[in-house]
Amino acid sequence: MAARAFARGASRSAGMLPWLGLALFLFIADQFTKVLILGWYQLGDSTYVTPFFNIVRVHNTGAAFSFLAAASGWQRWLFTAIGVAATLFILWMLRTHPGQRLFSFALACILGGAVGNVVDRLLHGYVVDFLQVHWRGWYFPAFNVADAAITAGAACLILDELLRVRRSR
């Protein structure tokens, strides 16, 4: 009986390895691009790439869309704790649902992005953002590879749920 439970646990852990690999790839891509930005750009420097896209170095002490960026510093630890809690929850979910491909893909994207932004908060006290989309004087807040991965993961979670509801009808 114990051997069967161990084999089931080992199988679940092995099933989540591709998803952890994807999360690791996204984390490395995020950190690598941030190192490049920190090395080549000063805070506020910007490079015009296309009529609708810039590379710009921005430091975000808040969360999405600079939420709580003007707070006195406590938000760094709040968002770090939320990121760590999300990481642990996602790891548990990946372990229990490794065969659900779209769901696990979404979680892996969110995991890689969340860990990338947590590392920034721990190392710098802020998240390094550098991708900026704009059009005719309107500027979307700058973001990074981690943010893009989290957004893609959230969109895939919504799609996965819509497909699950559709299948249940």
Element (H, E) at 55: strand 53-60
List 30, 120, 147, 160, catalytic entry: 147
147 catalytic residue (yes or no): yes
11 class by beta-carbon count within 10 Å (0-12 exposed, 13-18 middle, 19+ buried): exposed
CA dist 110 and 108 (Å) reads: 5
- Known catalytic residue: 129? yes
Query: Residue-wise over 136-152: b if at least 16 C-beta within 10 A, else e?
Result: eeeeeebbbbbbbbbeb
Say how many C-beta atoms besides its own lie within 10 A of residue 55's C-beta: 18
Task: Look up residue 46 and give its two tokens.
Answer: 């910007």
Which position among 30, 45, 120, 129 bears the catalytic label? 129
Q: Which residues belong to the active site?
A: 129, 147
